[in-house]
Amino acid sequence: MILREYQREAVEAVYRHLRERDTNPCVVLPTAAGKTPLLATICRDAVSLWNGRVVILAHVKELLEQAAEKLRAIAPDVPVGIYSAGLKRRDLGYAVTIAGIQSIYQKACDLGPVDLVIVDEAHLIPPDGEGMYRQFLNDAKVVNPNVRVIGLTATPFRMKSGSICSPENILNEICYEIGVRELIVQGFLCPLRTKAGAERVDFEGLHVRGGEFVAGEVENLMDEERLVHAACAEIVEQTVDRRSVLVFASGVRHGEHIVRRFREAHGLECGFITGDAPSGERDRLLDRFRAGDLKYLCNVNVLTTGFDAPNVDCVALVRPTMSPGLYYQMVGRGFRLHPGKSDCLVLDFGGNVLRHGHVDQIRISDPNSARGGEAPAKECPQCRALIHAAYARCPQCGHEFPPPERTRHDPSASDAGILSGQVTTSVHRVQDVFYSVHTKRDAEPGAPRTMRVDYQLGLSDYQSEWICFEHVHSAFAYQKARQWWAKRTDHPMPEDSQEAVDLANAGILAPTLSITVRRVAGEQYPRIIAYELDGQPERPREPAIPEEDIPF
C-alpha cells in the first residue's frame, strides 16, 4: 500500500518526535483522511525495523477490525493478535495487539512489556487521573517505564477542558496536523454543502449540563409535531437526487417519530439504529445502506466514530449539540469519496454550523468563559446556505449581503482621526484570508468581475480589497493587479477572476502575515497600503476546486 504524501509526512513527524523529544506526540488528521494506513505503517516499522512490540487501543470493534485489515495488507508477515470481547478474541503474546479498551484496560501486565501504545480516537482519553485509558497506560509503564504513547484523532479538543495535548496530559504535543480544506482542495476529501432548516427552532431555553445540552430537553424540543413534519418534508425534498441519507436524531422517541413520519406521510422506508439494537439487525441495516438498497438511515448516538459508509451524500442533523467534537464527527460521515458522488449535502436543523462554525474552522470556546463569541458562519436569507461570515455575496445563489452595521460603540477606543482629512495608519495581524469572485451589484452582463480578498483580523473583524484581473481597459487597475499577484507567486497571472480564486484557494499565494491599513477621516472606507508576506509557496500539484464548491 502506497501512502499519500501527507500520510508519509505524518509518519515521519512521529518518528522525528520520538527521536528528538521525550514527550508523547499526537497526529491530527480529518475524518476519512486515512488514519488507519498511517497506524499500520508505524506498527510494521516498529516490529520489522526495531524489533518492538505495539498495542493499538480503540473503543469500538469497527476500528479494531479496520486496523487489523490494514495491518494485514501492509505487513502480512507481522504477527497480529486481537483482544476484544465484542470480537470474541483474547490473543496474547503477539508483536502487535489490537485491543478494545473496555476489554484490555485491566490486562496490561498480562501483555508483557510493550514499546508503543497507539491510541485511536485519542480525544477520548480523559483529562483527569481516572478512566480505562489511564489505568492501562499506568500499568503498562510499570512493566516498561520507557513505553511511548502516540495519539491519533480528528478532533484534538474537548468541550470542557480544551486541547487534549498539554504537559500534564498523557499526550503532550501535536506533531503533525493537516486540515479539512487542504484535503478537499487536493481531492482527498469530498466537498460539503450546507443548508439550514426552513423551520426556525428556539434553542435559548435549553440548559447545559456537563458541557452538553440536557438530553431530555433536547428531545422534547425537537420531537414537536411541527418540527418533525417540517424536517422530514424538507429532507425528502432536498434529497430527491441523493443516494444515501444519514439522519441523526435527538433521542429514541424522536428517531421513531422520524421513521414513522417518513413511512406514513411520504411512503418511504427509513431504517433506525440505536445503541440497544441487536447486532444482527444493526449489521443487516448497515449492509443494505452501504449497498444502496436503503436510502434513509436514522440513528441515535451510534453512527459517528468507526462508521464507514463512503456512499453517504447527505447528512441531516436533526439535533443540536454543544459538543464541537460530536458535531464534527456527525458531519464527517460525508467526507469520504465515492464513485458518482460530487459533494455531500449537510442539512442542519439544529443550528450547529452557526453555533460551532464550519468544520475546517470549528470555534472552540474558552472553557472558563461564559460566552464564546460569534461563530464564523451565517445563513443566506435567500437559499438558506450556511456560509462563512466573510462572504459579501452568497457563492451558491448570488445573494448580496448588506454591509455590516457597526455596533453602538467599539469595545476599545478608536485611533481614527477626529478632523476631516486627518490620516491614521495601523498594522493588523492576519488570522485568515478568504478569496471569492465578486460581481458589482447591478452590473451589466459581461461586465468585468473582481477577486474579493477578505482578511480576517479578529473574530468578526475583516478588511477587504478587490483585485481587478479583468479590468484590461483600466491601465491603473490592471497594472495594480499584476503587481499584487507578482509579489505573492511566480505563477503566471490568471486570465480572469475565477481562475485567480481557484489558484489562490489551491495555496499558490504567499501567506499574508499582516496588513497596514490607512484611514482618512471623512472617507467612508479604509485602504490597505502595505503587506507582510511569508515567502512564496510552491506551485500546486493538484488542480484547484472552485471556491463555491468548498463552503467549508
Biggest CA–CA distance in the chain, Å, is 81
pLDDT, average across residues 138-154:
92
pLDDT, average across residues 414-439:
72
**Which pLDDT does position 547 carry in this prediction?**
42
CA dist list (Å): 172 to 25, 27, 151, 189: 6, 11, 10, 28
Confidence class for position 393, pLDDT limits 50, 70, 90: low
327 vs 211, which has greater pLDDT? 327
Instruction: Please give the Cα distance from 429 to 144 (Å, whole number).
Output: 47
pLDDT, average across residues 54-66:
84
CB-based contact 328:363 (threshold 8 Å): no
Instruction: Please give the Cα distance from 245 to 100 (Å, whole number).
Output: 29
The pLDDT of residue 15 is above 70: yes
**Which pLDDT does position 406 carry in this prediction?**
39
pLDDT, average across residues 420-435:
79
Name the CATH code of domain 190-356 (choices 3.30.2310.20, 3.40.630.20, 3.30.230.70, 3.40.50.300): 3.40.50.300
**Which pLDDT does position 129 carry in this prediction?**
58
The pLDDT of residue 550 is above 80: no
pLDDT, average across residues 319-331:
90
- Percent of the chain at pLDDT > 70 equals 83
Instruction: Please give the Cα distance from 398 to 401 (Å, whole number).
Output: 9
The pLDDT of residue 65 is above 50: yes
Q: What is the CATH number of domain 5-178?
A: 3.40.50.300
Confidence class for position 545, pLDDT limits 50, 70, 90: very low
**Which pLDDT does position 301 carry in this prediction?**
87
**Which pLDDT does position 308 carry in this prediction?**
81
394 vs 497, which has greater pLDDT? 497
Which grid coordinates belong to 92? 496474547
412 vs 254, which has greater pLDDT? 254
**Which pLDDT does position 353 carry in this prediction?**
87
59 vs 291, which has greater pLDDT? 291
Q: Which residues contact 538 (CB under 8 A, 6 or more apart)?
A: 508
pTM of the model: 0.66
The pLDDT of residue 99 is above 60: yes
Q: State the burial class of residue 160 (Cβ atoms within 10 Å of its Cβ: 0-12, 13-18, 19+).
A: exposed
Confidence class for position 200, pLDDT limits 50, 70, 90: confident
The pLDDT of residue 245 is above 90: yes
200-204, 265-269, 349-353, 389-393: which is most confident: 265-269
CA dist list (Å): 126 to 9, 131, 322, 367: 28, 7, 18, 15
**Which pLDDT does position 408 carry in this prediction?**
39
The pLDDT of residue 418 is above 70: no
Could you tell me the residue ranges of all domains in the chain? 5-178, 190-356, 423-549
**Which pLDDT does position 279 carry in this prediction?**
81
Instruction: Please give the Cα distance from 104 to 121 (Å, whole number).
Output: 16
**Which pLDDT does position 214 carry in this prediction?**
93
**208-209/212-213 β-pairing:** antiparallel
The answer to which of 17-21, 60-64, 76-80, 319-323 has the lowest mean pLDDT is 60-64
The pLDDT of residue 13 is above 70: yes
> Across all residues in the chain, what is the average pLDDT?
83
Phi, then psi, of 19 in degrees rounded to 5: -75, -45
DSSP 547: G
pLDDT digits (tens, 9 = 90+) for 307-316: 788 999 999 9
The answer to which of 136-145, 296-305, 468-477 has the lowest mean pLDDT is 468-477
Instruction: Please give the Cα distance from 4 to 182 (Å, whole number).
Output: 13
**Which pLDDT does position 523 carry in this prediction?**
66
The answer to which of 63-67, 125-129, 376-380 has the lowest mean pLDDT is 376-380
Same fold, 5-178 and 190-356: yes
Which grid coordinates belong to 411? 469595545
DSSP 326: H
Instruction: Please give the Cα distance from 360 to 256 (Å, whole number).
Output: 32
The pLDDT of residue 228 is above 70: yes
- Percent of the chain at pLDDT > 90 equals 41
Helices of type H across 223-333: 225-238, 252-266, 279-291, 324-331
Confidence class for position 74, pLDDT limits 50, 70, 90: confident
pLDDT, average across residues 336-362:
87
Q: Which H, E and C letters describe 182-199, residue by residue?
A: HHHHCCCCCCEEEEECCC
The Cβ of residue 491 has, within 10 Å, a number of other Cβ atoms equal to 16
Confidence class for position 552, pLDDT limits 50, 70, 90: very low
248-252, 282-286, 430-434: which is most confident: 248-252
**432-438/450-456 β-pairing:** antiparallel
Sequence-ordered strand ranges (E) for 461-511: 462-467
Confidence class for position 37, pLDDT limits 50, 70, 90: confident
Confidence class for position 298, pLDDT limits 50, 70, 90: very high
The pLDDT of residue 368 is above 60: no
Confidence class for position 407, pLDDT limits 50, 70, 90: very low
Q: Which H, E and C letters describe 57-108, residue by residue?
A: EECCHHHHHHHHHHHHHHCCCCCEEEEECCCCEECCCCCEEEEEHHHHCCCH
